Amino acid sequence: MTQGPTRRKPAVRSAANTGLIYAICSYGIWGFLPLYFLLLAPTGAFEIVAWRVLFSLVFCGVLILATRAWRPLVAALRTPRVVWTMGLAGVLIFINWQTFILAALSGHVVETALGYFINPIITVLLGVLVLHERLRAAQWAAVVISFIAVIVLSVGYGTVPWISLILAFSFGLYGLIKKRVGGHLDALTGLTLETMWLAPIAIVQLVVVSLLTGLTFGTVSPLHTVALIGSGVITAVPLLFFAAASRRLPLSTLGLVQYLAPVLQLIVGVVVLQEPMPPERWLGFGLVWVALIVLTVDMIVAGRSQRRLLTDLV
């Protein structure tokens, strides 16, 4: 009888270690994505996003056929509410992708990093505005500090950091929709549905690009063509890694690892691409990091309190 828990502990620890590897791989890929898209030059942002959508759909289709995982997709397609909701999620992630790639190709990688740094705080704010959740004092403090940070950064940039805010709000709303309605879908089925909705938009976008500037696909080099095709793979793989990590890791651990992506993006922007970082911009980022520390500590404390309460009830 006493051997049961002892045997389970190594298994739980092994699952957590595997989950951590999946999470690091997922957020690591997202962190270096700006460099990947920069390597696709001379292809423009609108063409890249269109191919990203179409090749993501192709890659998902191949995976579904290879793993015979079509039952969840068929079940989802038979549920109109899920189909329409994933269509809305697709539009939001399309806006996110388009903004991200436009920013990366125009020398604003640091702003993309800021967007994903403030995303957890925007998610908390959306909980209040959309779900009418009550915030704890520490969460309100994090929101207020972030608001001050945006003001400081607006002064530093000379304008509101729209790129960061669009990325944060689009991804925050995307996560909210996925959580409320599409959360029961696995990552592969969800991405397949989203890209199915976006495929017509991507095709129209390619037609417009071909008429205005001409397409670069297949005209630069074989390696460039493979890299464009790979944009679909590099979209789906981190999502699948993230899904695997979320099944094995506690939410608190996953919440901490998520900061790896914007940290890497900040390093890429400042160190690799030499984007300017004047003092007021560092001050704004510093305030955001203070807000994230407050939010993270509050999340850990609240999680421990809930576990303690459940233990007492049992």
C-alpha–C-alpha distance, residues 299 and 304, integer Å? 9
pLDDT at position 306, please? 61
pLDDT at position 66, please? 92
pLDDT at position 1, please? 47
Which amino acid is present at 36?
Y
Angle, in degrees to the nearest 10, between helices 222-248 and 45-67: 60
This prediction has a pTM of 0.86
pLDDT at position 158, please? 81
- Please, are residues 234 and 33 in contact by the beta-carbon 8 Å criterion? yes
Quick one: which of 182, 166, 203, 212 has its CA closest to 44? 212
Angle made by CA atoms 226, 229, 231, in degrees to the nearest 5: 115
First to last CA, the chain: 20
The encoded tokens of residue 170 equal 């689009």
C-alpha–C-alpha distance, residues 287 and 291, integer Å? 6
Length reported for the chain: 314
Exposure pattern of 284-307 as b/e (b: 16+ CB <10 Å)? bbebbebbbebbbebbeeeeeeee
pLDDT tens track, the chain, 314 positions: 445 555 555 665 676 778 889 889 999 999 999 999 999 999 999 999 999 999 999 999 999 999 888 898 999 899 898 899 999 999 999 999 999 999 999 999 999 999 999 888 888 888 888 877 788 888 888 888 988 988 888 888 788 889 999 999 998 898 888 777 655 788 888 899 999 999 999 999 999 999 999 999 999 999 999 999 999 999 989 988 887 887 777 766 777 788 899 999 999 999 999 999 888 889 999 999 998 898 888 877 776 666 565 555 55
pLDDT at position 240, please? 86
Exposure pattern of 191-201 as b/e (b: 16+ CB <10 Å)? bbbbbbbbbee
